[in-house]
C-alpha cells in the first residue's frame, strides 16, 4: 500500500484550493460582467487589470524578493485557469506577464531583475514577449530583427509579429540577431526594450477571431538605441533562453485552455438542465448525456496533465520539454472540442452572442496556435521521445 504522502503528489494542496476560491470570486464578480463587452468592442479589459492588481493575481509568479507574492507554477496555472473560465482575454494578463518576464527570471543578472520585475509585481507595468516575426514563426531561428553593437549600446532594427498585449505593456523581452554572420540559432541574443525607447513603435491592432480584448500588434524597431546592459544572458544564447522560456510557459497556455473549456462546460450544463423539448429537460436525453460525459472526461484529463506539467516546471525537471508541449497540445485540442460541443448542446442559441459559448469557442482556437502550433508541439514531443535511451 502507498502512504498518504505519496498520494499528495496527485492532488492540489489546501492552499491551492483556497487560492482557486479567491480567484474565482474575483473573476465572477469583477471580470465576468465585462467579458462580453470587452469582446464586442475589442477593448483591453481595464477593469480586469485593476481587479487583478488589487488582488495580486496579475503576476503571481514573481518571487517575494522582487516584491511579488511568489506563487508556484501550479498556483499560477490555477490563477490563469480561473480567469480564463470567465474571460480568456483577461487571463492573458497574468499569462503574458509570466511569458514576458520568464526569460529575465531564467537568465538575467540581479540588476536587471531588480530593475524590471518589481514594477510588474506591483502592477505598475506589464511585460510582453517578442520572438515571432512575419517570416519567422515556427522557424524562429530564421528571424531578421537585428541588434548591432554601437559602442556601449545596441541599435535594433526590424519587427516582431503577433505580440500579445503590445502597446499596453511597458516592458518587452525581444530576441534579435547580434551576429549576422554567426551560426544559425547561436547568433541571437535577448534584450529588454522599454515602451518609451526612441525608435520603438507599434503596428495597428490585428483584427482577430477571438481573445479580442487582448491587443495583438507588431513591434517596430527603427534605429532603436538601447543601453548595452539591457542585453541579458550570454551573447548568442537568446534562442536557447527563448526555448527554455516556452518549456515553462506552454504549461500556462494549457491552463488557459482548461479554463476556457471549463467555462463552456459549466454554461452548457446549466442550459441543458433548463431547456425543455418533447416535454422534458434535454439533459435527460442519453445522446446529450454521452456528450457531456465525454466533455468532462477529456477536460479532467487535460487538467491533470497541465497540473503535472506545472509541478515539473516548478522543479525544473529534465522532461519538462515533453510535458509542457504535451499539456499545451492536449489541453488546447480538448478546449476546441469542448467549446464546439458546448455550442452544439445549445443548438441555435449557441450560435448567437446572447450566450458566451460562441465567444469561448472563438477564444479556444488560439490556444492551438500561439506559443507554438500544436503541430510544432508534436514535433517537440517526438524529438524528446527519440532522444531517450
Interatomic CA distance for residues 121 and 126, integer angstroms:
9
- Where does the pLDDT of residue 351 fall: very low under 50, low under 70, confident under 90, or very high at 90 and above? very high
In the chain, the percentage of residues whose pLDDT exceeds 90 is: 96
Asked about 371 being catalytic, the answer comes back as yes
The one catalytic residue among 82, 168, 218, 371: 371
Interatomic CA distance for residues 65 and 97, integer angstroms:
17
Instruction: Collapse the DSSP code of 55 into the 3-class scheme (helix H, G, I; strand E, B; otherwise coil) and give the result.
Output: coil
Kindly tell me if the per-residue pLDDT of 10 is higher than 80: no
pLDDT value at residue 9: 52
Q: What is the CATH number of domain 4-121?
A: 1.10.540.10
CB neighbour list of residue 374: distance below 8 Å, 6 or more residues apart:
328, 329, 332, 333, 368
3-state per-residue secondary structure call for 320-355: HHHHHHHHHHHHHHHHHHHHHHHHHHHHHHHHCCCC
Kindly tell me if the per-residue pLDDT of 293 is higher than 70: yes
pLDDT in tens, 209-225: 999 999 999 999 999 99
What is the mean pLDDT of the segment spanning 58-68?
98
Interatomic CA distance for residues 60 and 53, integer angstroms:
10
- Where does the pLDDT of residue 388 fall: very low under 50, low under 70, confident under 90, or very high at 90 and above? confident
pLDDT in tens, 105-117: 999 999 999 999 9
Fold equal for 127-236 and 239-387: no
Interatomic CA distance for residues 195 and 193, integer angstroms:
7
pLDDT in tens, 132-183: 999 998 999 999 999 999 999 999 999 999 999 999 999 999 999 999 999 9
C-alpha cell at 346: 445549445
- Where does the pLDDT of residue 119 fall: very low under 50, low under 70, confident under 90, or very high at 90 and above? very high
- Where does the pLDDT of residue 362 fall: very low under 50, low under 70, confident under 90, or very high at 90 and above? very high
pLDDT value at residue 4: 41
Task: Indicate the helix (H) or strand (E) that contains 244.
Answer: helix 238-274
Q: What is the CATH number of domain 127-236?
A: 2.40.110.10
The CATH fold assigned to 239-387 is Butyryl-CoA Dehydrogenase, subunit A; domain 3 (1.20.140)
- Using CB atoms within 10 Å of the CB of residue 248, give its burial: 0 to 12 exposed, 13 to 18 middle, 19+ buried: buried
pLDDT value at residue 101: 98
Please state the domain extents for the chain.
4-121, 127-236, 239-387
Kindly tell me if the per-residue pLDDT of 24 is higher than 50: yes
Q: What Å distances lie between residue 107 and 110, 234, 235, 239, 294, CA to CA? A: 10, 8, 11, 12, 42
What is Dmax (Cα atoms) for the chain? 80
Query: CA angle, corner 338, sides to 132 and 33, nearest 5?
Result: 80
- Where does the pLDDT of residue 11 fall: very low under 50, low under 70, confident under 90, or very high at 90 and above? confident
Rg (alpha carbons) of the chain, rounded to whole number: 21
Interatomic CA distance for residues 268 and 129, integer angstroms:
35
Interatomic CA distance for residues 134 and 136, integer angstroms:
6
pLDDT in tens, 179-209: 999 999 999 999 999 999 999 999 999 999 9
pLDDT value at residue 5: 42
pLDDT in tens, 304-333: 999 999 999 999 999 999 999 999 999 999
pLDDT value at residue 389: 73
What is the mean pLDDT of the segment spanning 122-139?
96
Amino acid at each position: 500500500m502507498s502512504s498518504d504522502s505519496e498520494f499528495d503528489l496527485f492532488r492540489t494542496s489546501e492552499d491551492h484550493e483556497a487560492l482557486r476560491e479567491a480567484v474565482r470570486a474575483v473573476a465572477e464578480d469583477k471580470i465576468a460582467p465585462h467579458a462580453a463587452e470587452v469582446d464586442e468592442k475589442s477593448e483591453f479589459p481595464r477593469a480586469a487589470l485593476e481587479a487583478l492588481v488589487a488582488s495580486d493575481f496579475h503576476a503571481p509568479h514573481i518571487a517575494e524578493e522582487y516584491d511579488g507574492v511568489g506563487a508556484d507554477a501550479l498556483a499560477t496555472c490555477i490563477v490563469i485557469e480561473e480567469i480564463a473560465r470567465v474571460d480568456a482575454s483577461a487571463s492573458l494578463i497574468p499569462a503574458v506577464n509570466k511569458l514576458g518576464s520568464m526569460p529575465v527570471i531564467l537568465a538575467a543578472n540581479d540588476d536587471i531583475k531588480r530593475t524590471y520585475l518589481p514594477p510588474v509585481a506591483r502592477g505598475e507595468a506589464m511585460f510582453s514577449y517578442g520572438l515571432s516575426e512575419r517570416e519567422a514563426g515556427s522557424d524562429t531561428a530564421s528571424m531578421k530583427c537585428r541588434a548591432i553593437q554601437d559602442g556601449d549600446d545596441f541599435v535594433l532594427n526590424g519587427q516582431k509579429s503577433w505580440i500579445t498585449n503590445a502597446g499596453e505593456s511597458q516592458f518587452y523581452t525581444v530576441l534579435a540577431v547580434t551576429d549576422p554572420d554567426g551560426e544559425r540559432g547561436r547568433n541571437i541574443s535577448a534584450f529588454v526594450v522599454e515602451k518609451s525607447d526612441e525608435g520603438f513603435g507599434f503596428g495597428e491592432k490585428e483584427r482577430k477571431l477571438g481573445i479580442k480584448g487582448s491587443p495583438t500588434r507588431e513591434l517596430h524597431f527603427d534605429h532603436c538605441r538601447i543601453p548595452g546592459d539591457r542585453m541579458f544572458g550570454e551573447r548568442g544564447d537568446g534562442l536557447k533562453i527563448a526555448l527554455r522560456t516556452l518549456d515553462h510557459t506552454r504549461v500556462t497556455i494549457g491552463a488557459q485552455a482548461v479554463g476556457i473549456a471549463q467555462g463552456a462546460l459549466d454554461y452548457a450544463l446549466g442550459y441543458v438542465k433548463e431547456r425543455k423539448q418533447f416535454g422534458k429537460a434535454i439533459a435527460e436525453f442519453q445522446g446529450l448525456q454521452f456528450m457531456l460525459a465525454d466533455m468532462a472526461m477529456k477536460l479532467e484529463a487535460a487538467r491533470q496533465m497541465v497540473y503535472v506539467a506545472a509541478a515539473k516546471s516548478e522543479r525544473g525537471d529534465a522532461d519538462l520539454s515533453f510535458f509542457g508541449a504535451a499539456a499545451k497540445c492536449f489541453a488546447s485540442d480538448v478546449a476546441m472540442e469542448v467549446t464546439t460541443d458546448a455550442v452544439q448542446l445549445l443548438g441555435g442559441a449557441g450560435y448567437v452572442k446572447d450566450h458566451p459559448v460562441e465567444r469561448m469557442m472563438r477564444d479556444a482556437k488560439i490556444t492551438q496556435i500561439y506559443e507554438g502550433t500544436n503541430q510544432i508541439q508534436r514535433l517537440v514531443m517526438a524529438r524528446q521521445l527519440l532522444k531517450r535511451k
